[in-house]
Amino acid sequence: MDNRLRNAKRWVIKIGSALLTNDGQGLDRDALRRWADQIALLRKQGREVVLVSSGAVAAGMSRLGWTKRPTAIHEQQAAAAIGQMGLIQAYETSFQHHGLHSAQVLLTHDDLSQRKRYLNARSTLKTLLRLGSIPVVNENDTVATSEIRFGDNDTLAAMVANIIDAEVLLILTDQSGLFDRNPQLHTDAKFIKEEHASNPALLDYAGGAASQLSRGGMRSKILAARKAEQSGTHTVIASGREDNVILRIAQGEHLGTRLLAKQRPLAAKKQWIANVLQPRGKLWLDEGASKALLERGRSLLPVGVKKVEGQFQRGEAVDCLDPSGASIARGLVNYEAPEVTKIAGHSTQDIEQILGYVDEPEVIHRDNLSLLTGHIRKQA
């Protein structure tokens, strides 16, 4: 992977809150300038960089004198609004020293769940890169609600990598990388230097959020790497405490944990389906339908549907589950939930007799169906 890092042109770099706020003590402007210095050198090397920056809520908390992250959504939004001002101003000042323009881009999950707005975000980010600027992306915490949140900036960074077809996603944290068990509790914990992003064992190694400042933890970073893999993006999880960590990794030095993408990139539409859309329901499939999707790349026919969950409309996203409960695919459904319930288990030829009409012969056409990396097991 060394050559792939050295030759990679388009990067998404995510910097965690602890690295930007001196572990919550307020915005660390010296550290931020050091990040800007490294990114500016990448730009001089002809590389394109989108920066996904945490720190708005933590910076706002510091300015407000709060020591604990608030649980009330309106208080989080207020902290984000206050902190975002200082954060983006500090970035702009730091990049101006290198003759670079920064650009603030605030997103919600809802922005990317609608195809038209997703394509607009994609075009805007690519235009900003073409103009030589540094897009600074953050979740729009001031308007996001629990229903439309990304959940954490690791997820946001992976989705940005999908949007711009990045070659590398670099997640900088206050940890050195991934271990097979908690190194603070187990002295014999083994460091994971390199693995495939889709390896299901990785999630067994991960714990929760590292601190109260962060919504993410190592688990969210692994899930982010899986999302990034959908666009052929390799992920590196490394410690931001290392000197010149960005430049050293870009030069091929093996720092942190490398999670490799072994899948070929999906078409842009299928990336959008797999990684952006929030499923509105579930379709439980029989063994034959599961194999048809996974092994033969077929469309989903009504005969293979065993059970329907949720209230969804035509054109909305649903998850397809195999008999064990694993989510194996996500797609845009051709019929609303009550209609799929009626035709489930029946032949395509029976649709007209059951419903009185036929919109499409498939429940989900293969062109609107995306397989999910490293099957997501049903939660209890």
Lowest-confidence region among 12-21, 154-163, 264-273:
264-273
Considering the chain, what percentage of its residues have pLDDT values greater than 70? Answer: 91
What backbone torsions phi and psi does residue 253 show, to the nearest 5 degrees? Answer: -65, 140
CB-facing half-sphere around the CA of 311: CA atoms within 13 A: 0
Number of domains in the chain: 2
Structure tokens at 368: 């609107």
The answer on 216 and 192 residing in a single domain is yes
Residue 61 vs residues 19, 25, 47, 73, 276: alpha-carbon distances, Å: 15, 9, 34, 13, 29
pTM: 0.79
Question: pLDDT (tens digit, 9 = 90+) per residue, 259-310?
Answer: 999 877 777 788 888 888 889 999 999 999 999 999 999 999 999 999 999 9
The answer on 360 and 262 residing in a single domain is no
Three state DSSP letters for 334-354: CCCHHHHHHHCCCCHHHHHHH
- For every residue of 367-378, DSSP letters joined together read GGEEEEEEEEPP
Lowest-confidence region among 119-123, 163-167, 246-250:
119-123
The answer on 184 and 136 residing in a single domain is yes
Considering 219, 238, 270, which residue would you say is the last residue of a domain?
A: 270
The answer on 257 and 306 residing in a single domain is no
Residue 14 vs residues 35, 67, 87, 105, 300: alpha-carbon distances, Å: 11, 24, 14, 14, 37
Question: pLDDT (tens digit, 9 = 90+) per residue, 198-237?
Answer: 888 888 877 544 444 444 478 889 999 999 998 889 999 9
Q: How much is the pLDDT for 114?
A: 75
The answer on 67 and 103 residing in a single domain is yes
Question: What whole-number distance in Å separates Cα of residue 172 and Cα of residue 238?
Answer: 5
The answer on 180 and 310 residing in a single domain is no
Cα–chain center distance at 236: 14
Q: Which domain holds residue 131?
A: 2-270
Q: What is the CATH number of the domain that holds 366?
A: 2.30.130.10
Please check the confidence at residue 64 and state whether its pLDDT lies above 50.
yes
The answer on 307 and 257 residing in a single domain is no
Give the confidence band of 1 by pLDDT, cuts at 50, 70, 90.
low
Sign of CA dihedral 332, 335, 341, 347: negative
Question: What whole-number distance in Å separates Cα of residue 38 and Cα of residue 67?
Answer: 31
**Residue 107: beta bridge partners?**
139
Considering 214, 245, 270, which residue would you say is the last residue of a domain?
A: 270
Lowest-confidence region among 34-48, 77-91, 342-356:
77-91
The answer on 338 and 191 residing in a single domain is no
Question: What residues contact residue 233 under an 8 Å CB cut-off, 6+ apart?
Answer: 12, 158, 161, 162, 165, 166, 167, 168, 169, 261
- Mean pLDDT, residues 34-63 taken together: 91
Question: What residues contact residue 82 under an 8 Å CB cut-off, 6+ apart?
Answer: 59, 60, 63, 64
- Strands 317-321, 281-285: parallel, antiparallel or unpaired by DSSP? parallel
Give the confidence band of 131 by pLDDT, cuts at 50, 70, 90.
very high
Please check the confidence at residue 253 and state whether its pLDDT lies above 80.
yes
Q: What is the CATH number of the domain that holds 9?
A: 3.40.1160.10
Considering 249, 270, 291, which residue would you say is the last residue of a domain?
A: 270
The answer on 217 and 86 residing in a single domain is yes
The answer on 300 and 188 residing in a single domain is no
- Mean pLDDT, residues 246-260 taken together: 94
What's the one-letter identity of residue 95?
A: F
Output the CA angle 55-56-61, nearest 5 degrees: 95
Give which of 103, 89, 106, 104 is closest to 140, Cα–Cα.
106
Question: What whole-number distance in Å separates Cα of residue 276 and Cα of residue 315?
Answer: 14
The answer on 242 and 313 residing in a single domain is no
The answer on 357 and 258 residing in a single domain is no
Q: What DSSP state is assigned to residue 240?
A: T
